[in-house]
Structure 1
Amino acid sequence: MKVEFKLFAILTVFYIVMGFIYMLWTGGSEPVGAVGLFLTAGMCAMIGGYVYVTARKLDPRPDDDPEGEIHEIEGEYGFFSPHSWWPLFLGASCAIVFLGAAVGWWLVILGFPLVVLSTLGWTFEYFRGENAI
C-alpha cells in the first residue's frame, strides 16, 4: 500500500499548493474555491493516513515489492454474480433520487424506498430462492 499512500500524500500537497495559488490569483475575493481545495486536501490526507495506518498492520503485498512478479498476486478475487439484475434496479432508483434533488423533493421521497428495496435485494440475492448458497 506504499504506492497508494504516496499518491494521496502527493495529492494532499498538490491541493494545498493549488489552494494558495487560487487565493493569490483571486485576491481573496472568492473564498469558496480555496475552501474547496483545502477541504479536498484534508480529505486526501485522511485517506492517505488511513492507508498508511492500515499498511502498517498488514503484511507487505507482492505489488509493493519492486522485484515482484505478476504471478505472485494471482488468485481468486471474490465472487461476482454473473446474472444479477439488482445493480440495474439500484442504479435506476438512485437516478430517481438524484433527479429528485434537482426537480423536487417529492421525487426523492418516492425514490428512496426503491433504493432501500434494491439494496436489500442485491445484498440478499443469494440467501433465498433457487440461488441460495
Structure 2
Amino acid sequence: MKVSAIIFWILGVFFVFAATLYAFWVDWTEWAGIPAIYALAAMSWMIAWYVQSTDKRHGLGPSDDVDGEITEYAGTYGTFAPSSWWPLGVATACALIVTGLAIDWWILLLGVVAGVYFTYGWVYEFSRGKYAH
C-alpha cells in the first residue's frame, strides 16, 4: 500500500500544478474548471492519507513485496448478494435526481425519496429477507 499512497501523493501534486497552469492559461477567468482540478488534488491527497494511515495499521501488503505474486491477492474482498436489485434502484434514483435538476423540482423530490428508499434497502439488505443473517 505504500506504493499506492506515493502514487496518490504524486497525483495530488500534479493536479495542483495542472490547475495552476490552467488558471494562468485562462487568466483566472474560468471558475468551473479551476476549482474542479484543485478539488481533484484535494481528493487525491485524501485517498493518499487514507491509504497511508491504513498501511500503518495493517503493515506490508502483497503490492509492497518486490517478489510478490498476483496469487497473494487471492481471497474474499467482500460479501455481495448474488441477485440484488437495490443497486439498480439507486441508479434510477440518481438518474431522476439529475433529470430533476434539469427539468423541474418535483422530479428531483421524487428522485430524493426514491434514493433514500433504495439506499436504505441496499444498506439493510443482509438484515432482512432472503439473505438475513
Specify the TM-score bucket, using the shorter chain as the normaliser.
0.7 to 0.9
- Give the fraction of aligned pairs with identical amino acids, expressed as a percent: 39
Q: CA deviation at 1:107?
A: 1.1
Give the AA of the match of 1:36. A
Q: Residues 1-30 of structure 1: CA distance to partner in whole angstroms, max 9, x if unpaired?
A: 1122122112112112212222332233x1
The match for 1:74 is 74
| Partner Cα distance (1:65, 1:101) in 2 | 48
Check if 1:121 corresponds to 2:124.
no
Cα offsets for 1:95-115 (capped at 9, x unmatched):
111211111221111221211
Separation in structure 2 between the aligned mates of residue 23 and residue 130 of structure 1, nearest angstrom: 54
Distance 1:130 1:14, change over 3 A: closer
Q: CA distance change for structure 1 residues 86 and 71 in 2, over 3 Å: closer, same or farther?
A: same
Instruction: Say yes or no: does 1:40 pair with 2:40.
Output: yes
Task: Report the number of matched residues.
Answer: 132
Change (3 A) 1:58 1:102: same
Kept after mapping to 1: 8 A contact 2:81/2:131: no
State TM-score, norm by structure 2.
Answer: 0.84
Q: 1:74 to 1:111 in 2, by over 3 A?
A: same
Structure 1 stretches of 5 or more lacking a match? none
Q: How does 1:1-133 map to 2 (within 5 A)?
A: 1-28=1-28, 30-32=29-31, 33-133=33-133
CA drift of 1:129 comes to 3.1
Q: Tell me the SS of whatever aligns to 1:60.
A: coil
What TM-score does the superposition give when structure 1 sets the normalisation length?
A: 0.84
8 A Cα contact 2:87 2:122, kept in partner:
yes
Alpha-carbon distance between aligned partners in 2 of 1:41 and 1:115, rounded to the nearest angstrom: 29
Structure 2 counterpart SS, 1:80 = coil
Could you say if the C-alpha distance between residues 13 and 130 of structure 1 is closer, same or farther in structure 2, counting changes exceeding 3 Å?
closer
Q: Secondary structure at the match of 1:46?
A: helix
